[in-house]
């Protein structure tokens, strides 16, 4: 077994302070106890112990009961510690997008990376698959997209995107493109929503907006692409995308 000191250090590592850890361990070892007994076992002042016990009760790590007129405190099942850790983790996850925004706004300068040739272009898609938001907005002409990086590669990208839980909102040409179950159409199973716009507004093979990045893949003729990492630029393109999404139709013209 680990030493008492090691238990206390581990509890401190998950967010308890030194006195809270000492009191919780003391209660685990002693069973239902009065506060003076807890203070003695935890090697802290009795007056301090009252406040620490109240804190642990609020965290759900101690509970009170009575034996006659005597108030006793017992430690909660250590599984409660896991629940506490998970609760704190969920709270942190909920504010991570805002924290990331603050970091990017003040600490990250806009960056641009260029890619030339089919093999290099495929690295853009690897970056998309790492998006933390699990959301990618795409403007794509399916035929040009397939020609730029390869039909088999696009199929594998879609498979990986779905496996990683990344949802795609896609704008496609309303006519003159490829429309199958796998490409160019909406399918919840493929985590893909689609809207259609007039074909004349599509020129690049694909534009992808994700996290605070905008990526473009050119047609096979130009054979290049880039990723711009910029909060302002990505927010601007996202706003344009949302505007166009609102104008788009739900069905293509298949005549």
Q: Which fold has domain 111-247?
A: Endonuclease; Chain A (3.30.870)
What was the pLDDT predicted at 204? 86
Q: What CATH architecture does domain 4-82 belong to?
A: Orthogonal Bundle (1.10)
Closest CA to 129 of 170, 172, 162: 162
197: Cβ contacts below 8 Å, ≥ 6 apart? 171, 172, 173, 174, 244, 247, 248, 249
Q: How confident is the model at residue 255 (pLDDT cuts 50, 70, 90)?
A: low
Q: State residue 231's pLDDT score.
A: 86
Question: How far apart are alpha carbons 43 and 57 in whole angstroms?
Answer: 19
pLDDT at 51 over 90: yes
Residues 112-129: b if buried by 16+ CB within 10 A, e if exposed: eeebeeeeebbebbebbe
pLDDT (0 to 100) of residue 190: 93
Confidence class for position 104, pLDDT limits 50, 70, 90: low
* Paired sense of beta strands 213-217 and 224-229, if any: antiparallel
Q: Which of 206, 122, 254, 228 is nearest to 241 (CA)?
A: 206
* Res 2 pLDDT > 60: no
Domain segments of the chain: what residues?
Answer: 4-82, 111-247
pLDDT given at position 6: 84
């Amino acid at each position: 077994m680990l030493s008492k000191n090691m238990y206390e250090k581990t509890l401190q590592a998950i967010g308890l302070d030194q006195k809270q850890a000492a009191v919780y361990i003391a209660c685990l070892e002693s069973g239902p106890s009065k506060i003076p007994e807890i203070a003695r076992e935890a090697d802290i002042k009795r007056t301090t112990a009252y406040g620490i016990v109240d804190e642990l009760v609020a965290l759900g790590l101690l509970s009170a009961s009575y034996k006659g007129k005597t108030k006793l405190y017992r430690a909660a099942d250590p599984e409660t510690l896991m629940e506490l850790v998970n609760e704190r983790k969920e709270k942190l996850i909920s504010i991570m997008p805002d924290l990331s925004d603050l970091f990017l706004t003040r600490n990250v300068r806009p960056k641009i990376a260029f890619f030339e040739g089919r093999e290099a272009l495929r690295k853009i898609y690897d970056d998309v698959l790492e998006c933390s938001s699990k959301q990618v907005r795409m403007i794509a002409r399916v035929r040009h997209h397939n020609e730029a990086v390869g039909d088999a590669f696009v199929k594998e990208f879609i498979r990986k995107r779905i496996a990683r839980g990344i949802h795609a909102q896609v704008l496609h040409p309303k006519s003159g493109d490829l429309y199958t179950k796998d490409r160019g159409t909406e399918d919840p199973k493929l985590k893909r929503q689609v809207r259609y716009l007039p074909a004349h507004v599509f020129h690049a093979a694909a534009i992808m907006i994700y996290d605070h990045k905008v990526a473009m893949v050119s047609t096979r003729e130009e054979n290049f692409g880039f990723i711009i990492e910029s909060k302002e630029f990505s927010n601007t393109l996202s706003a344009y995308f949302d505007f166009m999404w609102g104008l788009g139709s739900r069905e293509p013209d298949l005549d």
